[in-house]
Amino acid sequence: MSNRLAHKGIVVGVDGSSSSMLAVRWAAHEAGMRNVPLSLIHVIDTPPSGLLALGGAVLPPRTETEDWQKTEGAKIVSDAVKVAEDSTQSGARPKLRTEVYFTATVPALVDLSKEAQMIVVGSRGQGAISRVLLGSVSAGLIHHAHCPVAVIHDEASGALQQQPSQRPVVVGIDGSPASELATEIAFDEASRRGVDLIALHAWRDKSMSYTPTIQWSGQRAAGEEALSERLAGWLERYPDVVVHARVVFDRPAEHLLDEAESSQLVVVGSHGRGGFAGMLLGSVSTTVAQAADVPVIVARQH
């Protein structure tokens, strides 16, 4: 999991929302476990002056707007630093870095992800009015980032308050290159946390043709054998991790969400079977990142 180019360590986007502050807390714990820096990033997406705001009011001149945004940005970053420091009082405290940018949020964070081990964001930012869809920033990153992306939900606050937790890590495995990276991340996370790993494989999903003549019992045996083969090398590499291999029939997202209810972290690949570079994020990872109440890491890479 090391990367000589990932000198920014764990990067977390902060905007003052409760979701982003939870992301800071989770990221600080993660950076402490990895003994890498924690970079707190606030991006100010400034519209051109002279545009009409909601209600018909004209935005103030750019210099006045920027002064106000700088003040607000400094406060947001200061609050984030305090959250990071408070959350690591009893453990390893990572080196903190802070940066503020005036630019478009998603492109800035995507660019920073080229030099990060992981980028962490809240599921929704300031002004979000619904949990039906992922926030635009988190959705943009899990589609385009150059490193793994962790999405933290407001609902994860209870689990975060209980860290370190003995709940397991869950990983979805389907044999694709993306799930291989997810498997590596999941073993690493379980090892660092000292917890068990649940490796879940859905033998058939809805994109595959249905073969009614083959009984599920036979499919299960084949699936268990395939999963055992994919886990063998990782078990040798991480002998300290106790793995519970589970093979289910169809509906991988639903089964992963069921497992998430009793876990502390879920890891999924950014593309499923047959994924190609540049395609939209797979439906399974989208669903899990959107609906899980615990932190979700979407495995992405350069």
Q: What is the mean pLDDT of each run of 10 residues along the chain (302 residues)?
A: 64 92 95 95 72 48 73 92 89 88 92 96 61 67 93 71 77 85 96 96 59 58 84 96 91 92 94 43 80 94 76
Architecture of domain 165-299: 3-Layer(aba) Sandwich (3.40)
Query: Are 203 and 219 spatial neighbours (Cβ–Cβ below 8 Å)?
Result: yes
Phi first, then psi: give them for residue 240, nearest 5 degrees: -80, -10
DSSP H helices in the chain: 18-34, 62-87, 105-112, 136-144, 157-161, 177-193, 216-237, 252-260, 283-291
- Position 225 scores a pLDDT of 84
Phi first, then psi: give them for residue 192, nearest 5 degrees: -65, -35
- Position 7 scores a pLDDT of 73
Residue-wise over 72-97: b if at least 16 C-beta within 10 A, else e?
ebeebbebbbebbeebbeeeeebebe
- Position 14 scores a pLDDT of 95
Task: Write the CA distances from 57 to 24, 52, 60, 262, 299, integer angstroms.
Answer: 34, 6, 9, 49, 43
Instruction: Decide: helix, strand or coil at residue 169.
Output: strand
pTM of the model: 0.84
Architecture of domain 10-159: 3-Layer(aba) Sandwich (3.40)
- Position 204 scores a pLDDT of 62
- Looking only at Cα atoms, what is the longest distance across the chain? 71
Quick one: how far is CA 19 from the chain centroid? 13
Tell me how far apart the alpha carbons of residues 15 and 73 are, in angstroms, rounded to a whole number.
8
Query: Are 120 and 10 spatial neighbours (Cβ–Cβ below 8 Å)?
Result: yes
268 burial type by CB count under 10 A (0-12 exposed, 13-18 middle, 19+ buried): buried
The domains of the chain are located at 10-159, 165-299
CB atoms within 10 A of CB 68: 11
Residues in the chain: 302
DSSP state at residue 263 = -
- The reply to whether 165-299 shares the fold of 10-159 is yes
- Position 51 scores a pLDDT of 46
